[in-house]
Structure 1
Protein backbone atom coordinates (compact mmCIF):
# COMPACT_ATOMS: atom_id res chain seq x y z
CA UNK A 1 0.00 0.00 0.00
CA UNK A 2 1.33 3.41 -0.94
CA UNK A 3 2.15 5.88 1.79
CA UNK A 4 0.30 9.17 2.04
CA UNK A 5 3.45 10.98 0.88
CA UNK A 6 3.68 8.74 -2.19
CA UNK A 7 0.02 9.41 -3.00
CA UNK A 8 0.55 13.17 -2.65
CA UNK A 9 3.63 12.94 -4.87
CA UNK A 10 1.64 11.17 -7.59
CA UNK A 11 -1.04 13.84 -7.37
CA UNK A 12 1.36 16.76 -7.85
CA UNK A 13 2.95 14.88 -10.76
CA UNK A 14 -0.47 14.72 -12.44
CA UNK A 15 -1.43 18.30 -11.63
CA UNK A 16 1.96 19.94 -12.27
CA UNK A 17 0.94 21.14 -15.74
CA UNK A 18 -1.63 23.43 -14.13
CA UNK A 19 0.89 25.13 -11.85
CA UNK A 20 3.52 27.80 -12.43
CA UNK A 21 6.51 29.06 -10.51
CA UNK A 22 5.58 31.74 -7.94
CA UNK A 23 8.99 33.37 -8.38
CA UNK A 24 9.49 33.64 -12.15
CA UNK A 25 6.03 32.56 -13.39
CA UNK A 26 7.39 29.90 -15.74
CA UNK A 27 6.00 26.39 -16.04
CA UNK A 28 6.64 23.86 -13.30
CA UNK A 29 7.59 20.28 -14.02
CA UNK A 30 7.56 17.29 -11.72
CA UNK A 31 10.93 15.91 -10.69
CA UNK A 32 11.02 12.58 -8.88
CA UNK A 33 10.67 11.68 -6.14
CA UNK A 34 8.58 14.67 -4.97
CA UNK A 35 9.64 18.08 -6.30
CA UNK A 36 8.43 20.72 -8.72
CA UNK A 37 11.12 22.57 -10.69
CA UNK A 38 10.91 25.41 -13.23
CA UNK A 39 13.30 26.15 -16.10
CA UNK A 40 15.00 28.79 -13.95
CA UNK A 41 15.79 26.01 -11.47
CA UNK A 42 13.52 27.24 -8.70
CA UNK A 43 12.63 24.08 -6.80
CA UNK A 44 9.75 23.26 -4.44
CA UNK A 45 9.67 20.05 -2.44
CA UNK A 46 6.63 18.26 -1.11
CA UNK A 47 6.70 18.44 2.70
CA UNK A 48 6.30 15.21 4.65
CA UNK A 49 2.62 15.90 5.59
CA UNK A 50 1.88 16.17 1.86
CA UNK A 51 1.77 19.87 0.97
CA UNK A 52 3.85 22.29 -1.10
CA UNK A 53 5.37 25.56 0.07
CA UNK A 54 4.87 27.92 -2.88
CA UNK A 55 5.14 31.30 -1.16
CA UNK A 56 7.99 33.58 -2.19
CA UNK A 57 9.20 34.27 1.32
CA UNK A 58 9.24 32.77 4.78
CA UNK A 59 6.10 33.61 6.74
CA UNK A 60 5.75 35.51 9.98
CA UNK A 61 3.92 33.99 12.92
CA UNK A 62 0.23 34.95 13.13
CA UNK A 63 -2.80 34.17 15.26
CA UNK A 64 -3.81 31.60 12.64
CA UNK A 65 -2.23 28.73 14.54
CA UNK A 66 -2.91 25.05 15.23
CA UNK A 67 -5.41 25.78 18.00
CA UNK A 68 -7.45 28.08 15.77
CA UNK A 69 -7.64 25.65 12.88
CA UNK A 70 -8.48 22.68 15.07
CA UNK A 71 -11.33 24.72 16.57
CA UNK A 72 -12.53 25.72 13.11
CA UNK A 73 -12.59 22.12 11.94
CA UNK A 74 -14.60 21.00 14.96
CA UNK A 75 -17.13 23.81 14.48
CA UNK A 76 -17.53 23.01 10.78
CA UNK A 77 -18.21 19.39 11.70
CA UNK A 78 -21.20 20.49 13.79
CA UNK A 79 -22.91 21.73 10.60
CA UNK A 80 -22.57 25.41 11.46
CA UNK A 81 -21.90 26.24 7.79
CA UNK A 82 -24.18 23.52 6.41
CA UNK A 83 -26.66 25.74 4.56
CA UNK A 84 -23.95 27.96 3.12
CA UNK A 85 -21.93 25.05 1.78
CA UNK A 86 -25.02 23.36 0.37
CA UNK A 87 -25.67 26.48 -1.70
CA UNK A 88 -22.05 26.69 -2.84
CA UNK A 89 -22.25 23.05 -3.92
CA UNK A 90 -25.52 23.67 -5.78
CA UNK A 91 -23.92 26.48 -7.78
CA UNK A 92 -21.03 24.26 -8.83
CA UNK A 93 -23.39 21.43 -9.78
CA UNK A 94 -25.46 23.87 -11.84
CA UNK A 95 -22.51 24.25 -14.22
CA UNK A 96 -23.08 20.65 -15.32
CA UNK A 97 -19.42 20.42 -16.20
CA UNK A 98 -17.38 17.24 -15.92
CA UNK A 99 -13.68 17.03 -15.09
CA UNK A 100 -13.60 20.53 -13.67
CA UNK A 101 -10.67 22.18 -11.91
CA UNK A 102 -11.71 23.49 -8.50
CA UNK A 103 -9.68 26.01 -6.50
CA UNK A 104 -10.35 27.07 -2.91
CA UNK A 105 -8.66 30.44 -2.49
CA UNK A 106 -8.08 30.77 1.25
CA UNK A 107 -8.77 27.15 2.12
CA UNK A 108 -7.67 27.22 5.76
CA UNK A 109 -7.62 23.71 7.22
CA UNK A 110 -9.42 22.30 4.21
CA UNK A 111 -12.84 21.21 5.49
CA UNK A 112 -14.90 23.19 2.99
CA UNK A 113 -12.92 22.03 -0.06
CA UNK A 114 -12.89 18.45 1.20
CA UNK A 115 -16.69 18.57 1.52
CA UNK A 116 -17.09 19.89 -2.03
CA UNK A 117 -14.76 17.34 -3.61
CA UNK A 118 -16.42 14.48 -1.73
CA UNK A 119 -19.88 15.54 -2.95
CA UNK A 120 -18.77 16.23 -6.52
CA UNK A 121 -16.67 13.05 -6.73
CA UNK A 122 -15.61 12.24 -10.33
CA UNK A 123 -16.87 15.62 -11.53
CA UNK A 124 -13.63 17.11 -10.19
CA UNK A 125 -10.51 16.51 -12.23
CA UNK A 126 -8.17 18.40 -9.89
CA UNK A 127 -8.77 20.32 -6.66
CA UNK A 128 -6.35 22.88 -5.24
CA UNK A 129 -6.45 24.42 -1.76
CA UNK A 130 -4.10 27.35 -1.14
CA UNK A 131 -3.65 29.54 1.91
CA UNK A 132 -0.85 31.62 3.44
CA UNK A 133 -1.55 30.09 6.86
CA UNK A 134 0.99 27.26 6.96
CA UNK A 135 -0.64 25.54 9.94
CA UNK A 136 -3.99 25.41 8.15
CA UNK A 137 -2.42 23.84 5.06
CA UNK A 138 -0.44 21.39 7.19
CA UNK A 139 -3.65 20.20 8.84
CA UNK A 140 -5.45 20.03 5.48
CA UNK A 141 -2.73 17.81 4.03
CA UNK A 142 -2.80 15.65 7.15
CA UNK A 143 -6.57 15.17 7.12
CA UNK A 144 -7.69 15.25 3.47
CA UNK A 145 -6.18 13.32 0.57
CA UNK A 146 -6.77 13.68 -3.16
CA UNK A 147 -6.31 17.47 -3.10
CA UNK A 148 -3.21 19.51 -3.94
CA UNK A 149 -2.53 21.64 -0.86
CA UNK A 150 -0.05 24.51 -0.88
CA UNK A 151 1.09 27.44 1.21
CA UNK A 152 0.72 30.19 -1.37
CA UNK A 153 -0.06 33.88 -1.79
CA UNK A 154 -3.44 34.49 -3.44
CA UNK A 155 -2.10 37.75 -4.89
CA UNK A 156 0.62 35.75 -6.66
CA UNK A 157 -1.14 32.46 -7.28
CA UNK A 158 1.03 29.62 -8.61
CA UNK A 159 -1.59 28.35 -11.07
CA UNK A 160 -1.63 28.76 -14.84
CA UNK A 161 -3.69 31.45 -16.57
CA UNK A 162 -7.14 30.21 -17.58
CA UNK A 163 -6.68 26.88 -15.82
CA UNK A 164 -9.51 26.99 -13.25
CA UNK A 165 -13.23 26.31 -13.77
CA UNK A 166 -14.47 27.22 -10.28
CA UNK A 167 -12.89 29.42 -7.61
CA UNK A 168 -14.45 29.42 -4.16
CA UNK A 169 -13.49 32.24 -1.80
CA UNK A 170 -15.19 31.71 1.55
CA UNK A 171 -14.96 34.39 4.25
CA UNK A 172 -11.47 35.15 3.00
CA UNK A 173 -9.76 38.14 1.37
CA UNK A 174 -9.95 38.21 -2.43
CA UNK A 175 -7.45 39.00 -5.16
CA UNK A 176 -9.76 39.79 -8.05
CA UNK A 177 -7.14 40.48 -10.70
CA UNK A 178 -5.62 37.08 -10.00
CA UNK A 179 -9.01 35.39 -9.91
CA UNK A 180 -9.83 36.86 -13.32
CA UNK A 181 -6.50 35.64 -14.70
CA UNK A 182 -6.99 32.14 -13.35
CA UNK A 183 -10.55 31.53 -14.52
CA UNK A 184 -11.29 29.74 -17.76
CA UNK A 185 -13.55 31.55 -20.24
CA UNK A 186 -16.75 30.08 -18.78
CA UNK A 187 -15.44 29.74 -15.24
CA UNK A 188 -17.13 31.12 -12.15
CA UNK A 189 -16.08 32.71 -8.89
CA UNK A 190 -18.19 31.90 -5.82
CA UNK A 191 -17.60 34.30 -2.96
CA UNK A 192 -19.12 34.02 0.51
CA UNK A 193 -19.14 37.20 2.59
CA UNK A 194 -20.60 37.94 6.03
CA UNK A 195 -23.87 39.84 6.10
CA UNK A 196 -24.98 42.43 8.66
CA UNK A 197 -26.20 39.96 11.31
CA UNK A 198 -23.36 37.46 11.11
CA UNK A 199 -22.31 36.57 14.69
CA UNK A 200 -24.25 39.59 15.93
CA UNK A 201 -24.49 38.05 19.40
CA UNK A 202 -20.72 38.32 19.79
CA UNK A 203 -20.59 41.87 18.46
CA UNK A 204 -23.33 43.07 20.78
CA UNK A 205 -21.79 41.46 23.84
CA UNK A 206 -18.18 42.49 23.32
CA UNK A 207 -18.41 45.89 21.66
CA UNK A 208 -20.05 49.13 22.64
CA UNK A 209 -19.02 51.10 19.55
CA UNK A 210 -19.48 50.96 15.77
CA UNK A 211 -18.20 47.37 15.75
CA UNK A 212 -21.60 46.26 17.08
CA UNK A 213 -22.82 46.49 13.50
CA UNK A 214 -21.28 45.30 10.27
CA UNK A 215 -21.74 46.30 6.64
CA UNK A 216 -20.35 44.30 3.76
CA UNK A 217 -21.30 46.77 1.05
CA UNK A 218 -17.70 47.81 0.38
CA UNK A 219 -16.72 44.14 0.05
CA UNK A 220 -19.65 43.38 -2.25
CA UNK A 221 -19.03 46.48 -4.37
CA UNK A 222 -15.47 45.38 -5.05
CA UNK A 223 -16.83 42.09 -6.37
CA UNK A 224 -19.31 43.93 -8.60
CA UNK A 225 -16.52 46.12 -9.98
CA UNK A 226 -14.46 43.15 -11.10
CA UNK A 227 -17.02 40.47 -12.05
CA UNK A 228 -20.41 40.19 -13.69
CA UNK A 229 -22.86 38.77 -11.16
CA UNK A 230 -24.89 35.79 -12.37
CA UNK A 231 -26.42 34.74 -9.04
CA UNK A 232 -26.77 36.10 -5.53
CA UNK A 233 -28.41 34.75 -2.40
CA UNK A 234 -28.52 35.59 1.28
CA UNK A 235 -28.70 32.81 3.88
CA UNK A 236 -29.68 33.67 7.47
CA UNK A 237 -30.05 30.97 10.12
CA UNK A 238 -30.18 30.84 13.89
CA UNK A 239 -27.82 28.21 15.23
CA UNK A 240 -27.87 26.64 18.68
CA UNK A 241 -24.37 26.07 20.03
CA UNK A 242 -23.34 24.01 23.00
CA UNK A 243 -20.80 25.58 25.35
CA UNK A 244 -17.84 23.72 23.87
CA UNK A 245 -18.95 24.81 20.40
CA UNK A 246 -19.09 28.42 21.59
CA UNK A 247 -15.52 28.01 22.84
CA UNK A 248 -14.46 26.84 19.38
CA UNK A 249 -16.24 29.76 17.74
CA UNK A 250 -14.50 32.26 20.02
CA UNK A 251 -11.19 30.57 19.26
CA UNK A 252 -11.54 30.60 15.48
CA UNK A 253 -13.21 33.94 14.71
CA UNK A 254 -11.11 37.10 14.30
CA UNK A 255 -13.78 38.81 16.41
CA UNK A 256 -12.23 37.06 19.40
CA UNK A 257 -8.62 37.99 18.70
CA UNK A 258 -8.64 41.16 20.80
CA UNK A 259 -10.95 39.93 23.53
CA UNK A 260 -9.54 39.03 26.94
CA UNK A 261 -10.01 35.56 28.38
CA UNK A 262 -12.04 37.11 31.21
CA UNK A 263 -14.50 38.67 28.76
CA UNK A 264 -14.76 35.42 26.82
CA UNK A 265 -15.54 33.58 30.06
CA UNK A 266 -18.21 36.14 30.85
CA UNK A 267 -19.85 35.52 27.47
CA UNK A 268 -19.77 31.76 28.02
CA UNK A 269 -21.43 32.25 31.40
CA UNK A 270 -24.08 34.60 30.02
CA UNK A 271 -26.39 31.77 28.97
CA UNK A 272 -26.43 32.80 25.30
CA UNK A 273 -26.62 29.70 23.14
CA UNK A 274 -28.01 31.19 19.92
CA UNK A 275 -25.69 32.41 17.18
CA UNK A 276 -26.66 33.99 13.87
CA UNK A 277 -25.24 32.72 10.61
CA UNK A 278 -25.76 35.40 7.97
CA UNK A 279 -23.96 35.04 4.64
CA UNK A 280 -24.25 36.47 1.18
CA UNK A 281 -23.22 34.14 -1.65
CA UNK A 282 -22.28 35.87 -4.88
CA UNK A 283 -21.49 34.04 -8.13
CA UNK A 284 -19.73 35.89 -10.89
CA UNK A 285 -18.11 35.48 -14.28
CA UNK A 286 -15.28 37.46 -15.79
CA UNK A 287 -16.36 40.74 -17.33
CA UNK A 288 -16.60 40.65 -21.09
CA UNK A 289 -13.65 43.04 -21.50
CA UNK A 290 -11.44 41.25 -18.95
Structure 2
Protein backbone atom coordinates (compact mmCIF):
# COMPACT_ATOMS: atom_id res chain seq x y z
CA UNK A 1 0.00 0.00 0.00
CA UNK A 2 1.34 3.41 -0.94
CA UNK A 3 2.18 5.92 1.75
CA UNK A 4 0.44 9.28 1.82
CA UNK A 5 3.54 10.90 0.31
CA UNK A 6 3.65 8.32 -2.50
CA UNK A 7 -0.04 8.89 -3.21
CA UNK A 8 0.54 12.63 -3.49
CA UNK A 9 3.53 12.03 -5.74
CA UNK A 10 1.40 9.82 -7.99
CA UNK A 11 -1.18 12.60 -8.23
CA UNK A 12 1.53 15.07 -9.26
CA UNK A 13 2.89 12.51 -11.76
CA UNK A 14 -0.50 12.37 -13.53
CA UNK A 15 -0.30 16.14 -14.05
CA UNK A 16 3.30 16.17 -15.29
CA UNK A 17 2.36 17.32 -18.82
CA UNK A 18 1.14 20.66 -17.39
CA UNK A 19 4.52 21.57 -15.90
CA UNK A 20 7.48 23.42 -17.30
CA UNK A 21 10.75 23.96 -15.48
CA UNK A 22 10.85 27.23 -13.48
CA UNK A 23 14.57 27.49 -14.21
CA UNK A 24 14.81 26.84 -17.97
CA UNK A 25 11.15 26.50 -19.09
CA UNK A 26 11.75 23.04 -20.56
CA UNK A 27 9.11 20.30 -20.41
CA UNK A 28 9.19 18.01 -17.41
CA UNK A 29 9.01 14.27 -16.79
CA UNK A 30 8.31 12.45 -13.55
CA UNK A 31 10.87 10.02 -12.20
CA UNK A 32 9.32 7.74 -9.56
CA UNK A 33 9.06 7.73 -6.72
CA UNK A 34 9.29 11.46 -5.93
CA UNK A 35 11.08 13.55 -8.57
CA UNK A 36 9.85 16.05 -11.15
CA UNK A 37 12.71 16.55 -13.59
CA UNK A 38 13.06 18.72 -16.69
CA UNK A 39 14.79 17.75 -19.94
CA UNK A 40 17.86 19.78 -18.89
CA UNK A 41 18.21 17.86 -15.65
CA UNK A 42 16.80 20.34 -13.12
CA UNK A 43 15.13 18.18 -10.49
CA UNK A 44 12.53 18.90 -7.80
CA UNK A 45 11.51 16.32 -5.21
CA UNK A 46 8.05 16.02 -3.70
CA UNK A 47 8.51 17.00 -0.08
CA UNK A 48 6.50 15.97 2.94
CA UNK A 49 3.54 16.22 3.23
CA UNK A 50 3.24 16.20 -0.58
CA UNK A 51 4.17 19.55 -2.10
CA UNK A 52 6.82 20.76 -4.54
CA UNK A 53 9.48 23.33 -3.63
CA UNK A 54 10.22 25.22 -6.84
CA UNK A 55 12.27 28.21 -5.66
CA UNK A 56 15.99 28.54 -6.24
CA UNK A 57 16.43 29.20 -2.51
CA UNK A 58 14.36 29.61 0.64
CA UNK A 59 12.54 32.86 1.31
CA UNK A 60 11.52 34.24 4.70
CA UNK A 61 8.11 35.90 5.01
CA UNK A 62 5.95 37.17 7.86
CA UNK A 63 3.39 34.55 6.95
CA UNK A 64 4.02 31.87 9.58
CA UNK A 65 2.28 28.69 10.67
CA UNK A 66 0.13 30.44 13.30
CA UNK A 67 -1.12 32.95 10.72
CA UNK A 68 -2.20 30.23 8.29
CA UNK A 69 -3.87 28.20 11.02
CA UNK A 70 -5.84 31.29 12.05
CA UNK A 71 -6.75 31.97 8.41
CA UNK A 72 -8.06 28.45 7.91
CA UNK A 73 -10.18 28.60 11.05
CA UNK A 74 -11.71 31.92 10.03
CA UNK A 75 -12.43 30.73 6.48
CA UNK A 76 -14.18 27.68 7.90
CA UNK A 77 -16.62 29.96 9.76
CA UNK A 78 -17.94 31.19 6.40
CA UNK A 79 -16.42 34.66 6.77
CA UNK A 80 -15.47 34.76 3.07
CA UNK A 81 -18.29 32.62 1.65
CA UNK A 82 -20.06 35.42 -0.21
CA UNK A 83 -16.84 36.28 -1.99
CA UNK A 84 -15.99 32.70 -2.97
CA UNK A 85 -19.60 32.10 -4.08
CA UNK A 86 -19.23 34.86 -6.66
CA UNK A 87 -15.89 33.47 -7.86
CA UNK A 88 -17.49 30.04 -8.27
CA UNK A 89 -20.34 31.54 -10.31
CA UNK A 90 -17.88 33.21 -12.70
CA UNK A 91 -15.96 29.96 -13.20
CA UNK A 92 -19.14 28.00 -13.83
CA UNK A 93 -19.92 30.30 -16.76
CA UNK A 94 -16.89 28.94 -18.64
CA UNK A 95 -18.23 26.54 -21.25
CA UNK A 96 -15.88 23.56 -21.08
CA UNK A 97 -15.94 20.31 -19.16
CA UNK A 98 -12.30 20.32 -18.06
CA UNK A 99 -10.63 23.26 -16.34
CA UNK A 100 -7.09 24.02 -15.25
CA UNK A 101 -7.31 26.46 -12.34
CA UNK A 102 -4.42 28.25 -10.65
CA UNK A 103 -4.66 30.07 -7.33
CA UNK A 104 -1.78 32.56 -7.43
CA UNK A 105 -1.14 33.28 -3.76
CA UNK A 106 -3.01 30.27 -2.40
CA UNK A 107 -1.89 30.51 1.22
CA UNK A 108 -3.00 27.44 3.16
CA UNK A 109 -5.29 26.40 0.31
CA UNK A 110 -8.75 26.79 1.87
CA UNK A 111 -10.19 29.16 -0.75
CA UNK A 112 -8.96 27.03 -3.66
CA UNK A 113 -10.16 23.79 -2.08
CA UNK A 114 -13.64 25.21 -1.52
CA UNK A 115 -13.84 26.63 -5.04
CA UNK A 116 -12.57 23.45 -6.73
CA UNK A 117 -14.98 21.29 -4.74
CA UNK A 118 -17.98 23.37 -5.85
CA UNK A 119 -17.18 23.33 -9.58
CA UNK A 120 -19.13 20.48 -11.27
CA UNK A 121 -16.40 19.89 -13.84
CA UNK A 122 -13.16 17.95 -14.15
CA UNK A 123 -10.78 20.34 -12.37
CA UNK A 124 -6.98 20.23 -12.27
CA UNK A 125 -6.10 22.75 -9.59
CA UNK A 126 -2.72 24.25 -8.70
CA UNK A 127 -1.99 26.42 -5.67
CA UNK A 128 1.20 28.48 -5.69
CA UNK A 129 2.57 30.62 -2.88
CA UNK A 130 5.98 31.85 -1.79
CA UNK A 131 5.18 31.14 1.89
CA UNK A 132 6.37 27.60 2.66
CA UNK A 133 4.32 27.24 5.85
CA UNK A 134 1.09 27.90 3.98
CA UNK A 135 1.93 25.44 1.20
CA UNK A 136 2.90 22.73 3.71
CA UNK A 137 -0.43 23.12 5.48
CA UNK A 138 -2.34 23.14 2.18
CA UNK A 139 -0.70 19.92 0.99
CA UNK A 140 -1.42 18.29 4.34
CA UNK A 141 -5.12 19.19 4.27
CA UNK A 142 -6.16 18.92 0.60
CA UNK A 143 -5.20 15.80 -1.33
CA UNK A 144 -6.73 16.59 -4.74
CA UNK A 145 -4.84 19.82 -5.44
CA UNK A 146 -1.20 20.30 -6.43
CA UNK A 147 0.52 22.80 -4.17
CA UNK A 148 3.98 24.26 -4.66
CA UNK A 149 6.25 26.86 -3.12
CA UNK A 150 6.76 28.99 -6.20
CA UNK A 151 7.38 32.53 -7.40
CA UNK A 152 4.22 34.10 -8.86
CA UNK A 153 6.46 35.85 -11.37
CA UNK A 154 7.85 32.50 -12.53
CA UNK A 155 5.18 29.83 -12.27
CA UNK A 156 6.06 26.26 -13.29
CA UNK A 157 3.33 25.84 -15.90
CA UNK A 158 3.34 25.74 -19.67
CA UNK A 159 2.35 28.68 -21.80
CA UNK A 160 -1.33 29.23 -22.64
CA UNK A 161 -2.76 26.16 -20.90
CA UNK A 162 -4.53 27.63 -17.85
CA UNK A 163 -8.26 28.34 -17.99
CA UNK A 164 -8.66 30.37 -14.79
CA UNK A 165 -6.24 32.27 -12.55
CA UNK A 166 -7.54 33.29 -9.12
CA UNK A 167 -5.67 36.04 -7.28
CA UNK A 168 -7.26 36.78 -3.90
CA UNK A 169 -5.86 39.60 -1.76
CA UNK A 170 -2.40 38.79 -3.04
CA UNK A 171 0.31 40.47 -5.11
CA UNK A 172 0.09 39.77 -8.84
CA UNK A 173 2.46 39.23 -11.73
CA UNK A 174 0.34 40.15 -14.73
CA UNK A 175 2.95 39.37 -17.36
CA UNK A 176 3.27 35.86 -15.97
CA UNK A 177 -0.51 35.51 -15.67
CA UNK A 178 -0.82 36.39 -19.37
CA UNK A 179 1.87 33.83 -20.26
CA UNK A 180 0.16 30.81 -18.69
CA UNK A 181 -3.43 31.88 -19.48
CA UNK A 182 -5.30 30.48 -22.47
CA UNK A 183 -6.35 33.04 -25.07
CA UNK A 184 -9.95 32.68 -23.91
CA UNK A 185 -9.06 32.22 -20.23
CA UNK A 186 -10.01 34.41 -17.30
CA UNK A 187 -8.20 36.13 -14.45
CA UNK A 188 -10.30 36.68 -11.32
CA UNK A 189 -8.73 39.19 -8.95
CA UNK A 190 -10.06 40.14 -5.52
CA UNK A 191 -8.87 43.36 -3.90
CA UNK A 192 -9.92 45.06 -0.66
CA UNK A 193 -12.16 48.07 -1.00
CA UNK A 194 -12.31 51.23 1.11
CA UNK A 195 -14.42 49.81 3.95
CA UNK A 196 -12.60 46.48 4.26
CA UNK A 197 -12.19 45.73 8.00
CA UNK A 198 -12.89 49.38 8.72
CA UNK A 199 -13.70 48.61 12.36
CA UNK A 200 -10.14 47.37 12.93
CA UNK A 201 -8.64 50.37 11.16
CA UNK A 202 -10.75 52.74 13.23
CA UNK A 203 -9.89 51.06 16.52
CA UNK A 204 -6.18 50.56 15.91
CA UNK A 205 -5.28 53.47 13.66
CA UNK A 206 -8.04 56.05 14.18
CA UNK A 207 -8.85 55.36 10.49
CA UNK A 208 -5.51 56.84 9.39
CA UNK A 209 -4.75 53.60 7.56
CA UNK A 210 -7.44 54.23 4.92
CA UNK A 211 -6.96 52.00 1.90
CA UNK A 212 -7.57 52.97 -1.71
CA UNK A 213 -7.69 50.30 -4.41
CA UNK A 214 -7.61 52.76 -7.31
CA UNK A 215 -4.01 52.15 -8.36
CA UNK A 216 -4.38 48.37 -8.08
CA UNK A 217 -7.45 48.48 -10.32
CA UNK A 218 -5.67 50.69 -12.83
CA UNK A 219 -2.74 48.28 -13.07
CA UNK A 220 -5.09 45.35 -13.63
CA UNK A 221 -6.88 47.19 -16.43
CA UNK A 222 -3.57 48.04 -18.08
CA UNK A 223 -2.84 44.32 -18.32
CA UNK A 224 -6.27 42.77 -18.99
CA UNK A 225 -9.60 43.73 -20.52
CA UNK A 226 -12.32 43.83 -17.86
CA UNK A 227 -15.11 41.37 -18.56
CA UNK A 228 -16.97 42.01 -15.31
CA UNK A 229 -16.44 43.83 -12.03
CA UNK A 230 -18.52 44.14 -8.92
CA UNK A 231 -18.24 45.19 -5.33
CA UNK A 232 -19.14 42.70 -2.61
CA UNK A 233 -19.90 44.26 0.77
CA UNK A 234 -21.42 42.65 3.84
CA UNK A 235 -21.08 42.55 7.63
CA UNK A 236 -20.29 39.61 9.90
CA UNK A 237 -20.45 39.25 13.65
CA UNK A 238 -17.32 37.66 15.08
CA UNK A 239 -16.96 36.29 18.57
CA UNK A 240 -13.75 36.74 20.50
CA UNK A 241 -11.96 33.67 19.15
CA UNK A 242 -12.93 34.53 15.56
CA UNK A 243 -11.83 38.12 16.07
CA UNK A 244 -8.50 36.90 17.44
CA UNK A 245 -8.04 34.79 14.29
CA UNK A 246 -8.86 37.76 12.09
CA UNK A 247 -6.24 39.90 13.83
CA UNK A 248 -3.71 37.08 13.56
CA UNK A 249 -4.16 36.66 9.80
CA UNK A 250 -4.46 40.25 8.57
CA UNK A 251 -1.43 42.52 8.09
CA UNK A 252 -3.49 45.20 9.87
CA UNK A 253 -2.69 43.41 13.11
CA UNK A 254 1.02 42.94 12.60
CA UNK A 255 2.12 46.21 14.18
CA UNK A 256 -0.40 46.33 17.02
CA UNK A 257 0.62 45.68 20.62
CA UNK A 258 -0.78 42.64 22.39
CA UNK A 259 -2.27 44.98 24.98
CA UNK A 260 -4.35 46.81 22.40
CA UNK A 261 -5.47 43.55 20.80
CA UNK A 262 -6.53 42.30 24.22
CA UNK A 263 -8.51 45.49 24.77
CA UNK A 264 -10.50 44.95 21.58
CA UNK A 265 -11.14 41.32 22.49
CA UNK A 266 -12.38 42.37 25.92
CA UNK A 267 -15.36 44.05 24.27
CA UNK A 268 -16.65 40.65 23.11
CA UNK A 269 -18.51 40.04 19.84
CA UNK A 270 -17.85 42.66 17.16
CA UNK A 271 -19.47 43.41 13.81
CA UNK A 272 -16.86 43.53 11.04
CA UNK A 273 -17.28 44.91 7.52
CA UNK A 274 -16.15 42.82 4.56
CA UNK A 275 -15.71 44.95 1.43
CA UNK A 276 -14.15 43.64 -1.81
CA UNK A 277 -13.92 44.43 -5.48
CA UNK A 278 -13.95 41.37 -7.74
CA UNK A 279 -12.61 41.96 -11.25
CA UNK A 280 -12.80 39.37 -14.03
CA UNK A 281 -10.31 39.98 -16.83
CA UNK A 282 -9.45 38.54 -20.23
CA UNK A 283 -6.45 38.99 -22.46
CA UNK A 284 -6.49 42.20 -24.50
CA UNK A 285 -7.57 41.53 -28.09
CA UNK A 286 -4.32 43.05 -29.33
CA UNK A 287 -2.41 40.45 -27.33
CA UNK A 288 -4.11 37.67 -29.28
CA UNK A 289 -2.89 38.80 -32.70
Report TM bin, short chain: over 0.9
Give the SS at the match of 2:71. Answer: helix
Query: TM-score scaled to structure 2, two decimals?
Result: 0.97
Equivalent residue, structure 2, for 1:224: 221
1:46 deviation in Å?
Answer: 0.2
Offset of 1:4 from its aligned partner?
Answer: 2.1
Q: Which moved more, 1:2-11 or 1:43-52?
A: 2-11
For 1:280, which of 273, 277, 282 is the aligned residue? 277
Give a deviation string over 1:216-257, Cα, whole Å, max 9, x none: 001111111100000111110010001000000000001001
Q: Matches of residues 1-290 of structure 1 in structure 2 within 5 Å?
A: 1-60=1-60, 62-124=61-123, 126-208=124-206, 210-211=208-209, 213-271=210-268, 273-290=270-287
Please state how far the C-alpha of 1:210 moved relative to its aligned partner: 3.2
After superposition, the C-alpha distances for 1:237-278 in whole angstroms (9 at most, x for unaligned) are: 010001000000000001001111011111112346100000
> Tell me, which stretches of 5 or more residues in structure 1 are unaligned?
none
Q: CA deviation at 1:7?
A: 1.9
Aligned residue pair count: 287
Q: Is the Cα contact below 8 Å between 1:97 and 1:123 reproduced in 2? A: no
SS of 1:210's partner is coil
Runs of 4+ in 1 over 6 A off after TM superposition: none
The answer (yes or no) to whether the contact 1:194–1:278 under 8 Å persists in 2 is yes
1:141-182 per-residue CA deviation (whole Å, 9 max, x = no partner) reads 000011111000001111111010000000100100000111
Preserved CA contact (<8 Å) 2:239 2:268: no
Unaligned runs of 5+ in 2: none
Change (3 A) 1:59 1:67: same
- Give the deviation of 1:123 after TM superposition: 3.0
Measure the CA separation in 2 of the matches of 1:100 and 1:257. 37
Cα distance change on mapping 1:177 and 1:113 into 2, 3 Å = same
